Amino acid sequence: MSHPTSPNGTPPRHPRPTRRLRLLVPTLLLALTACTGAPAAPRADTGPATPQVTGPLCAALPTGTDPGNPTFLAGQPVDQALRWIPTLTTFEAALRTSGVLTDLPTGTGVTILAPSDDAFAAKFSEDNWDDLMTRHTDELRTLLKAHLIAGTHSIGDLANVGTATTLDGTTIVVTRTGPTVRLADRADAVCADYQATNTRIHIINAVLGPLPATANDSDQRAH
């Protein structure tokens, strides 16, 4: 098959497709956008949900951006978080002195039923508590283990199950009582669901477990 020739006898040169492709690309993109719709906007990263603490005592504890607020505590190791909760000074000091938390394997979750300072004041005189802290470490550790549960459990989960076994081997009954949750028919959760690293902290208004011989109801500390 012969090819047409130009007046000077050379075959004509075919036009390059570059311009045509440049025109077609925007047209194809417009058609594709019309078929698929506009691309979705990237989702904003809202970060972790703010821990929601519940109970009648919560209103008297740090909130919002105050030092020791629940959101701040959620990112802290448990020993540091407990120091920021102003009503747990007695319990925090006892945990630190006894070393009970260091007995837990690294990374193990724990739920803490933490009696308030008033709860300890209702059961121990200053002398008796100081004696327990300094001279009866084994009894102190047993008492504290009655307030620890393996695993991280919200107060709602504990109530739904109905029982919980503390690290001293005691099984306690957990029941809902109106707006709060009652434990071992002795203590109420007065500000529950604080979070810390691998930890849930529920503040309670009474001391659990068998009280050591050093407890003395007749010689209470001043609240």
Q: pTM of the full predicted structure?
A: 0.76
The residues pairing with 111 across neighbouring beta strands, listed in sequence order, are: 149, 200
| Domain extent for 124 | 58-204
Q: In the predicted model, is pLDDT for residue 125 greater than 50?
A: yes
Question: Which pair of structure tokens corresponds to residue 163?
Answer: 């029982």
Cα–Cα distance between 209 and 165 in angstroms, integer? 12
Q: Using CA atoms, how far apart are residues 198 and 14, in angstroms rounded to an integer?
A: 73
Amino acid at position 137, single letter: T
Average confidence score pLDDT of the chain: 82
186 assigned to some structural domain = yes
Residue 115, in any domain of the structure: yes
Instruction: Band the pLDDT of 221: cuts 50, 70, 90.
Output: low
Does some domain include residue 173? yes
Confidence of residue 216 (pLDDT cuts 50, 70, 90): low
Question: Above 90 in pLDDT, residue 14?
Answer: no
The domain tally of the chain equals 1
Residue 18 belongs to a domain: no
Read off the pLDDT of each residue in 174-191 and give the average, rounded to a whole number.
95
Look at residue 145 and tell me if it is in a domain.
yes
Confidence band, pLDDT 50/70/90 cuts, at residue 19 = very low
Tokens of 25: 């690309």
Q: Is residue 97 part of a domain?
A: yes
CATH code of the domain in which 87 resides: 2.30.180.10
Residues 6+ apart with CB under 8 A from 218: none
pLDDT at residue 2 is higher than 90? no
Per residue in 81-113, pLDDT (tens digit) is 999 999 999 999 999 999 999 888 888 899 999
Has residue 114 been placed in a domain? yes
User: Is residue 72 in some structural domain?
Assistant: yes
* Token couple for 94: 């006892």
Q: Name residue 115's beta-bridge partners.
A: 204
Q: Which of 155, 164, 161, 146 is nearest to 194 (CA)?
A: 155
d(CA 180, CA 156): 10
Give me 49's structure tokens: 């949900």
Q: Which residues have CB under 8 Å from 201's CB, separation 6+?
A: 78, 81, 82, 85, 111, 112, 114, 193, 194, 195
CA angle, residues 106, 191, 116, in degrees to nearest 5: 80
